[in-house]
Amino acid sequence: MRLHRLAVTAFGPFADPQEIDFDALSGAGIFLLHGPTGAGKTSVLDAVCYALYGSVPGARQAPGTSLRSDHAAPGTPTEVTLELTAGGRRLEITRRPEQERPKKRGTGTTKDKAQSRLREHTGDGWTALSRSHQEIGEEIEHLLGMSREQFCQVVLLPQGEFARFLRADEAARGRLLGRLFDTRRFAAVETLLGERRRAAEARVRAGDEKVLHTAQRLAQAAGDSADLRAWPLPGHQPGDPGLAGAVRAWAAVARCSARERLDVAEYALAAVEGRHAAARRAAEDARELDRLQRRHAETARRAALLAEAEPERERVRALLDRARRAAMVAPALELRGAASSAHLAAAHAETAARAELPPPLREAGADQLAAVEQRLREELGALGAAHRAEQRSAEIGRERADLERESRAAEEQHQESAEWLARWDETRTALQERADAAQQAATLAEQLAGRLEPARMNLSAARRRDEFAAEAERAEAELLDLREESAAARESWLQLKEARLRGIAAELAEALVAGEACTVCGSAEHPAPARPAPGHVDRAAEDAAHAAFEQVEQARSAVERRLAAAREARAEAASAAGEATTAELLSLTADLSARHAAAHAAAAGLHAAREQLARAEREHAARSADRLDAETRAAARASRREALDREQASLEAELALVRRDAPTVAARARTLEDRVRMVASAAACLRRAETAAARLKEADDQLADAAFKAGFDTVEAAADAVLPEYERTALQRRLDTWQAEEALLADRLGESGTAEAAAQPPAAPDAAEAYAAAAAAKLRTAGSACDAARVRCTELDRLSRQMEQELRALGPLREDYDRVARLAGLTAGTSADNERRMRLEAYVLAARLEQVAAAATVRLLRMSGGRYTLVHSDARAGGRGRSGLGLHVVDAWTGSERDTATLSGGETFFASLSLALGLADVVTDEAGGTRLDTLFIDEGFGSLDDQALDEVLDVLDSLRERDRSVGIVSHVADLRTRVQAQLEIVKQRGGSVVRHRTAALTD
- Evaluate whether 290 touches 758 at the Cβ level (below 8 Å): no
* Rounded (10°) CA dihedral 108, 110, 111, 116: -120
Per-residue model confidence (pLDDT) at position 415: 78
pLDDT of residue 800: 78
Band the pLDDT of 147: cuts 50, 70, 90: confident
Among the listed residues 272, 254, 232, 253, the one whose alpha carbon sits nearest the alpha carbon of residue 785 = 272
Under the banding of pLDDT at 50, 70 and 90, the label for residue 189 is confident
| Kind and range of the H or E run holding 32 | strand 30-34
Please, is 911 exposed, middle or buried when counting C-beta atoms within 10 Å of its C-beta (0-12, 13-18, 19+)?
Answer: buried
* Whole-number pLDDT of residue 172: 62
pLDDT higher than threshold 90 for residue 93: yes
Max avg pLDDT among 381-395, 545-559, 639-653, 741-755:
545-559
For residue 525, pLDDT over 80 is answered with no
pLDDT score at 255: 75
- Summarize pLDDT for 251-293 with one digit per residue, the tens: 777 778 777 777 787 787 788 778 778 878 777 777 777 777 7
Q: Which of 277-286, 377-386, 563-572, 979-988 has the lowest mean pLDDT?
A: 377-386
Tens digits of residue pLDDT in 598-621: 877 877 777 777 788 788 788 778
Name the band, by pLDDT with cuts 50, 70 and 90, for residue 178.
low
pLDDT level of residue 52 (50, 70, 90 thresholds): confident
Residue type, 856: A
d(CA 302, CA 312): 16
Q: 6-10, 179-183, 405-409, 889-893: which range is least confident on average?
A: 179-183
State pLDDT tens for residues 767-802: 778 887 887 888 788 778 787 777 878 877 887 787
pLDDT band at residue 7 under the 50/70/90 scheme: very high
pLDDT(158) > 60: no
Is residue 478 within 8 A of residue 561, CB to CB? The reply is no
If pLDDT is split at 50, 70 and 90, which confidence band does 1000 have? very low
| Interval 853-870 mean pLDDT | 77
| Run of H or E including 887 | strand 886-891
Mean pLDDT across the stretch 877-890?
61
Name every residue whose Cβ is closer than 8 Å to that of residue 217 and which is 6 or more positions away in sequence: 799
Residue 851 in contact with residue 862, Cβ under 8 Å?
A: no
Q: Given a cut of 70, is residue 39 above it in pLDDT? A: yes
pLDDT for 360: 75
Cα separation, 924 vs 144, in Å, equals: 9
899-926: pLDDT as tens digits: 777 776 667 766 777 777 777 667 666 6
Identify which has the larger pLDDT, 198 or 721. 198
What is the mean pLDDT of the segment spanning 63-68?
68
Q: What is the pLDDT of residue 169?
A: 63
Arithmetic mean of pLDDT, 227-255: 67
Q: What is the pLDDT of residue 171?
A: 64
| Greater pLDDT, 746 or 874 | 746
CB 886 within 8 A of CB 850: no
Task: Find the angle CA(581)-CA(583)-CA(588) to the nearest 5 degrees.
Answer: 95
pLDDT tens per residue across span 971-995: 767 677 777 788 888 888 788 888 8
Query: Collapsing DSSP states into helix, strand and coil, what is residue 71?
Result: coil
Task: Report residue 868: phi and psi, to 5°.
Answer: -110, 145
pLDDT, average across residues 588-603: 81
Residue 7 phi, psi (nearest 5):
-125, 130
**Distance set, CA 537 to CA 511, 543, 549 (Å):** 16, 10, 17
Pick 832 or 741 by higher pLDDT.
741
Spatial strand order of the sheet with 965-969 comes to 156-158, 934-938, 965-969, 30-34, 981-986, 993-997
Between 440 and 842, the higher pLDDT residue: 440
User: What is the pLDDT confidence band of residue 682, given thresholds at 50, 70 and 90?
Assistant: confident
Q: Which helix (H) or strand (E) holds 776?
A: helix 765-828
Whether the predicted pLDDT of 879 surpasses 50: no
Q: pLDDT higher for 886 or 101? A: 101
Mean pLDDT for the stretch of residues 578-582: 79
- The H or E element that residue 96 is part of is strand 89-96
Mean pLDDT of 422-451: 79
pLDDT score at 9: 92
Q: What is the tens place of the pLDDT at every residue in 925-963?
A: 665 545 666 777 765 565 555 665 666 666 666 655 555
**pLDDT over 70 for what percent of the chain?**
79
Are the beta carbons of 706 and 328 closer than 8 angstroms? yes
Q: Against a cut of 0.75, is the pTM above it?
A: no
Q: Which of 383, 259, 379, 272 is nearest to 796 (CA)?
A: 259
Burial 849-888 (b: 16+ CB within 10 A, else e): bbbbbbbbbbbbbbbbeebbbbebbbebbeeeebbbbbbb
pLDDT by residue (tens digit) across 527-543? 777 677 676 777 788 78
Choose between 737 and 673: higher pLDDT.
737
Question: Is pLDDT at 880 greater than 50 in this prediction?
Answer: no
**Span of 135-139, 163-167, 185-189 with lowest mean pLDDT:** 163-167
Pairwise CA distance, residues 884 & 695, whole Å: 135
> How far is Cα 969 from Cα 33, in angstroms, rounded to an integer?
5
What is the pLDDT confidence band of residue 182, given thresholds at 50, 70 and 90?
low
Digit-coded pLDDT (tens) for 342-352 = 778 877 877 77
Give me the pLDDT at residue 1003, please.
Answer: 41
pLDDT of residue 440 exceeding 50, the answer is yes
Residue 511: pLDDT over 60: yes
Question: Which string of DSSP letters, residue by residue, matches 493-506?
Answer: HHHHHHHHHHTHHH
